[in-house]
C-alpha cells in the first residue's frame, strides 16, 4: 500500500471518529467528549454520558445517525483560534475534558499533554513548547478540537462498522474517571471491511478457549482458581512435544538442563531487585517451622545465579548455559486474566547463559538460530523488536552499559539478517531485549520468544569468573526463551493451526476403527495398536458399536491426522488405505500400504517434525 493510500485511510478513520462523535451528540446532546484517535483497523471515541451507559444495542441508532451525516456530505472545515479563546469555547459547550486538554496545552505546551496521541490535540505546530494557536475541524453542526487531517467531506469515508463499547480511563490513568470507549472498524472499501470481518469470524472459530474445550486440551476449575489452567492428557502431550523441541534445540548448542524448587526465601528477590519492583505480584508462602518469608518463584534467573555462584568459575568454563522449562507464578490482577493468554501459573522455556563479554555475539547468534528453527518448523514468520530503554529512571545499571549492550544486540540481529525494528521504553528493568513477533496463519502478529542481555543481575549477585590473568571478572547473563511462555504460545499455536496439529505434536496421531465388533476384528485391531505403540506412536482405537461412517466422523471432529479402518480385507492380508486429514495431504491420489510400512512412515514423520505427510 502506498503512503498516499495510508494517509487517505487514516483521514477516513479519523473523520469517522468525528462523525460518530457527532452522531452521539445528536442522540445524547449532553455528551462530554474525550478523545477520538485512529487505531489499528479503525477508530474510537471516548464519551461520557453522565449516568447513562451506552450498550451494543445502541449501535444501530448511532450507525443510522452516522449514515445520515455521511449522506449529507458535509464539508470538513479547518480553522484556528487562540488557546485562550478555545478554553472559552470548551467551557461554553460544557466540554470539561476538552477544557482540561486545552488548559494543559496553554499552561505548558505539548510536554504536559505528551501522554496523548499528538494528533488528538489541536496543535497548530509540532514540537513547539509554546502553543498559542489550536486548530479545529467543523462538519455540519459538529465542531471538535483536532489537528486533522480529515477527508474533504463526510461522504468520503469508506466502509465502517461499530464493534464494541468498553470502559477506558480518561487519559489512560487509573485514577481518572472512566469513560466509555466506542470502537469502530473502517476500511476504504466495503470489500476490505468484509475481508476484515471474515478474518474476525475465522479468528472466533479458532479461539483457543473454544478449541481447548472441543479438543479436550485444558480445563479451568473454580475450585482451583482463575488463571490456573489444568492440562488434560491430550493437552499435556501437545505441551510436552513443544517443550521437548525447544529443549532439544538449545541442548544442541550446549545448554544443560537444571532443576530448581518452585519457592524461595524472599531474600533472593530483595537481592535481585525484583522484590522492590514486583513485590505486590508475588504469591506469598508461609512456613510454619521458621520465621522466613517464602514466595512462589515469579521467574527463574535468581535461582540460576545461585547454581552459577556455588563454585568458582574459570574463563575456560564459560559459557555456562542452563535450561529449565518450569512454571513460575505471578499474582496477576484478576481482570487481566483470560484463556491461556494471561495466566497465573506460567511455564517458561527459560534459559540463562553466563558468558564472557567477548562471547556475547556468538551466544546471541546461537539463540537466534534456535528461535529461527523453532518458528520455521511451526510455520510462523518472525520479525524482531529491539527493545531499548528510554530516559526514565526505571532501569538499573549504568547508562554506558546499556548503550553498549543495545548496540551489540542490534549487531547480532543485523548479522542474522532478521527483519527488525527498534523501540524505546520496552526494555526489561535489567537490560535491553530482542523480542520476537510471530505472524500466525490468519495474519495476526504475536509476541513470543525473547532474548535479553543482562549486566545487572550478575552485578547484584556478585557473580565472578577468573580471567586468564588471574583477575576476578564479571560475567554477562543472557536470558532467552524460545516460546516465552508455554501457555501463551499454546494459545497462539492452537489458533495458528486451528487445532489441526501436525503429526509430531498431535495428541492423537492415528485412530484405528474396527468395521464391526466381532472377536476376530477386535483382536486384529488390538494387534495393530500394539505395533504402533511399540513404535512410540499415539494411537486410539474405536471399537464402539457405531457405524463406520459415524466413527470416521468422530475422528474428523477430533482432527486426527490419520484414520485407518480395519476389517475383513486387512485381516485377510490386504493393504490398508489411510484416511489423511486434508491439510496434511500433498498428493491427492489415495495409496495403500502394508501395516508395517504405514506405521514406520508415520513414526518417521513424527520424529522429523514434518508439516505435511509423505503418504
The correct pick among 105, 515, 539, 560 for binding RNA (CB under 7 A) is 515
The answer to whether 476 and 321 are in contact (CB under 8 A) is: no
Among 429, 466, 603, 609, binds RNA (CB under 7 A): 429
Stretch that binds RNA, among 23-31, 106-114, 490-498, 544-552 (CB under 7 A): 544-552
Please name every residue paired with 424 in a beta bridge, in sequence order, or none if there are none: 388
- Residue 146 designated active-site: no
**Nearer to RNA among residue 398 and residue 547 (C-beta):** 547
Triad 452, 456, 461: Cα angle to 5°: 120
The helix (H) or strand (E) run that includes residue 230 is strand 230-231
Based on the residue annotation, tell me whether 301 is a catalytic residue of this protein.
yes
- The CA-atom distances, in angstroms, between 521 and each of 485, 516, 554, 574, 577 are 45, 7, 20, 14, 17
With respect to RNA, which residue has the nearer C-beta, 150 or 559?
Answer: 559
Interface with RNA, residue 384, by CB under 7 A: no
Indicate if 604 belongs to the active site: no
Query: Does 28 participate in binding RNA (rule CB under 7 A)?
Result: no
How far is residue 232 CA from its own chain's centroid?
23
Q: Which residue has the cell 532478521?
A: 418
CB of 51 to RNA, least distance (A): 9
- Residues 431-450: x/- map of binding to RNA (CB under 7 A)? -------------------x
Instruction: Report how far apart the first and last C-alpha atoms of the chain are (Å, whole number).
Output: 41
Q: Strand, helix or coil at 601?
A: helix
Q: Which stretch binds RNA (CB under 7 A): 6-14, 241-249, 333-341, 495-503?
A: 333-341
Which stretch, 233-241, 249-257, 305-313, 332-340, contacts RNA (CB under 7 A)?
332-340
Site of grid cell 513424527? 606
Where does 159-313 have alpha helices with state H? 190-206, 208-214, 233-251, 267-272, 274-278, 301-309
Q: Which is nearer to RNA, 141 or 198 (CB)?
A: 198
Query: Between 323 and 566, whose beta carbon lies closer to RNA?
Result: 566
- Is residue 298 a contact point for RNA (CB under 7 A)? yes
All residues at 6 or more sequence positions from 325 whose CB lies less than 8 Å from its CB, including other chains: 243, 246, 247, 347, 348, 349, 350, 486
Binding test (CB under 7 A) with RNA, winner from 32, 330, 389, 500 = 330
Check 342, 479, 488, 581 and give the catalytic one.
479
Among 281, 361, 424, 583, binds RNA (CB under 7 A): 281
Alpha carbons 38 and 16: distance in angstroms, whole number:
9
Stretch that binds RNA, among 60-68, 96-104, 105-113, 294-302 (CB under 7 A): 294-302
CB 77 within 8 A of CB 55: no
419 binds RNA (CB under 7 A): no
Point out the catalytic residue in the list 348, 363, 406, 452: 348
Size of the site for RNA (CB under 7 A): 66
* C-alpha span between 536 and 600 (Å, rounded): 10
Verify binding: residue 393, RNA, rule CB under 7 A: no
Q: Provide the Cα torsion 90, 93, 96, 102; round to 10°.
A: -10
Is residue 480 part of the annotated active site? The answer reads: no
Cβ 429 vs Cβ 479: under 8 Å: no
Tell me whether residue 527 is one of the annotated catalytic residues. no
Output 407 or 568, the one with its CB closest to RNA: 568
Which residues within the stretch 363-382 sit at the binding site for RNA (CB under 7 A)? none
Taking CB under 7 A as the rule, does residue 81 contact RNA?
no
Write the DSSP string, 91-147.
HHTT-HHHHHHHHHHHHHGGGGGTTS-GGGS-BSSTT-SS--EEEEEEETTEEEE--
Considering only residues 154 to 183 of the shown chain, the ones binding RNA according to CB under 7 A are 164, 166-169, 172-174, 178, 180-181
Closest CA to 472 of 314, 360, 318: 314
- The answer to the question of residue 335 lying near RNA (CB under 7 A) is yes
Q: Per rule CB under 7 A, is residue 423 in the interface with RNA?
A: no
Active-site residue, from 150, 321, 352, 496: 352
265 given a catalytic annotation = no
- Residue 233 is placed in which grid cell? 492428557
Write down the least CB distance from residue 21 to RNA, Å.
17
Which grid cell is 96? 470539561
Residue 549 in the binding site for RNA (CB under 7 A): yes
Site for RNA contains 270 (CB under 7 A): no
Least distance in Å: CB of 489 to RNA?
14
CB of 111 to RNA, least distance (A): 18
For residue 336, the SS3 value is helix
Minimum distance of RNA from residue 484's CB (angstroms): 9
Binds RNA by CB under 7 A, chosen from 27, 49, 428, 442: 428
**Cell 494411537, residue?**
539
**Phi, psi angle pair for 75, to nearest 5°:** -75, 145
Cβ(377)–Cβ(245) below 8 Å:
yes
Give me 582's grid cell. Answer: 486434508
Nearer to RNA, 150 or 551 (CB): 551
- Per CB under 7 A, the list member of 250, 321, 342, 511 interacting with RNA is 342
Dist CA 505 CA 451 (whole Å) = 25
| CA geometry: angle 411, 412, 418, nearest 5 deg | 100
Query: Quick check: helix, strand or coil at residue 161?
Result: strand
**Should residue 594 be labelled a site residue for RNA when binding is judged by CB under 7 A?**
no
Q: Which entry of 13, 250, 321, 433 is annotated as an active-site residue?
A: 433
- Give the per-residue contact string, 203-222, with RNA (x = CB under 7 A; - = no): ------x---x------x-x
- Active-site residue set: 301, 330, 348, 350, 352, 433, 479
Contacting positions for RNA (CB under 7 A): 53, 55, 164, 166-169, 172-174, 178, 180-181, 209, 213, 220, 222, 225-227, 274, 278, 281-282, 298-299, 301, 330, 332-339, 342, 428-429, 450, 452, 515-518, 545-550, 552-553, 556-557, 563-570, 576-577, 579
Amino acid at each position: 500500500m502506498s503512503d498516499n493510500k495510508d494517509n487517505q485511510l487514516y483521514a477516513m478513520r479519523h473523520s469517522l471518529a468525528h462523525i460518530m462523535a457527532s452522531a452521539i451528540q445528536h442522540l445524547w446532546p449532553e455528551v462530554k467528549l474525550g478523545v477520538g484517535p485512529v487505531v489499528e483497523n479503525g477508530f474510537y471515541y471516548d464519551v461520557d454520558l453522565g449516568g447513562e451507559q451506552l450498550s451494543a444495542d445502541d449501535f444501530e441508532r448511532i450507525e443510522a445517525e452516522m449514515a445520515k451525516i455521511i449522506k449529507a456530505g458535509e464539508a470538513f472545515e479547518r480553522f484556528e483560534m487562540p488557546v485562550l479563546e478555545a478554553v472559552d469555547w470548551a467551557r461554553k459547550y460544557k466540554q470539561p475534558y476538552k477544557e482540561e486538554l486545552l488548559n494543559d496545552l496553554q499552561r505548558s505546551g505539548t510536554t504536559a499533554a505528551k501522554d496523548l496521541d499528538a494528533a488528538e490535540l489541536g496543535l497548530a505546530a509540532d514540537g513547539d513548547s509554546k502553543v498559542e494557536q489550536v486548530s479545529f475541524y467543523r462538519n455540519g453542526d459538529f465542531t471538535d478540537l483536532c489537528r486533522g487531517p480529515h477527508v474533504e467531506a463526510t461522504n468520503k469515508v469508506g466502509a465502517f462498522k461499530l464493534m464494541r463499547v468498553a470502559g477506558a480511563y480518561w487519559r489512560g490513568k487509573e485514577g481518572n474517571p472512566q469513560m466509555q470507549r466506542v470502537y469502530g472498524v473502517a476500511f476504504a472499501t466495503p470489500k476490505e471491511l468484509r475481508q476484515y470481518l471474515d478474518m474476525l469470524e475465522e479468528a472466533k472459530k479458532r479461539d483457543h478457549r473454544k478449541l481447548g474445550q472441543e479438543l479436550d486440551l485444558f480445563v479451568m476449575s473454580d475450585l482451583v482458581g482463575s488463571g490456573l489452567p489444568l492440562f488434560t492428557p491430550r493437552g499435556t502431550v501437545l505441551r510436552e512435544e513443544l517443550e521437548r523441541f525447544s529443549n532439544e534445540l538449545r541442548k544442541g548448542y550446549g545448554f544443560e538442563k537444571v532443576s530448581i524448587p518452585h519457592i524461595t526465601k524472599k531474600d533472593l528477590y530483595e537481592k535481585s531487585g525484583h522484590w522492590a519492583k514486583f513485590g505486590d505480584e508475588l504469591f506469598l508462602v508461609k512456613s510454619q517451622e521458621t520465621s522466613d518469608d517464602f514466595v512462589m518463584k515469579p521467574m527463574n534467573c535468581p535461582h540460576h545465579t545461585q547454581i552459577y555462584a556455588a563454585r568458582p568459575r574459570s574463563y575456560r568454563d564459560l559459557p555456562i548455559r542452563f535450561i529449565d522449562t518450569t512454571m513460575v507464578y505471578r499474582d496477576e490482577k484478576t481482570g487481566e486474566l483470560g484463556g491461556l493468554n494471561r495466566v497465573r501459573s506460567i511455564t517458561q522455556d527459560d534459559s540463562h547463559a553466563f558468558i564472557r563479554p567477548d562471547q556475547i555475539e556468538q551466544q546471541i547468534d546461537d539463540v537466534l538460530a534456535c528461535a529461527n528453527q523453532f518458528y520455521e518448523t511451526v510455520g510462523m514468520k518472525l520479525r524482531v523488536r529491539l527493545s531499548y530503554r528510554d530516559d526514565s529512571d526505571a532501569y538499573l545499571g549504568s547508562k554506558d552499559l546499556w548503550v553498549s549492550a543495545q548496540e551489540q544486540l542490534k549487531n547480532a540481529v543485523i548479522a542474522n539478517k532478521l527483519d527488525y525494528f527498534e523501540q524505546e521504553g520496552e526494555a526489561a528493568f535489567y537490560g535491553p531485549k530482542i523480542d520476537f513477533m510471530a505472524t500466525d496463519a490468519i495474519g495476526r502478529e504475536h509476541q513470543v520468544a525473547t532474548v535479553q542481555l543482562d549486566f545487572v543481575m550478575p552485578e547484584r549477585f556478585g557473580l565472578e569468573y577468573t580471567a586468564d590473568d588471574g583477575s576476578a571478572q564479571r560475567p554477562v547473563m543472557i536470558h532467552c526463551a524460545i516460546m516465552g511462555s508455554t501457555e501463551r504460545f499454546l494459545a497462539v499455536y492452537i489458533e495458528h493451526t486451528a487445532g489441526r496439529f501436525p503429526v509430531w505434536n498431535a495428541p492423537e496421531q492415528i485412530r484405528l476403527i474396527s468395521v464391526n465388533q466381532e472377536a476376530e476384528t477386535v483382536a486384529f485391531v488390538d494387534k495393530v495398536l500394539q505395533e504402533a505403540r511399540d513404535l512410540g506412536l499415539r494411537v486410539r482405537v474405536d471399537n464402539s458399536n457405531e457405524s463406520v461412517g459415524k466413527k470416521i466422523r468422530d475422528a474428523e471432529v477430533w482432527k486426527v491426522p490419520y484414520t485407518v479402518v480395519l476389517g475383513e480385507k486387512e485381516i485377510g492380508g490386504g493393504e490398508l488405505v489411510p484416511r489423511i486429514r486434508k491439510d496434511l495431504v500433498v498428493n491427492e491420489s489415495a495409496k495403500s500400504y502394508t501395516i508395517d510400512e504405514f506405521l514406520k512412515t508415520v513414526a518417521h514423520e513424527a520424529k522429523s517434525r514434518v508439516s505435511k505427510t509423505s503418504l
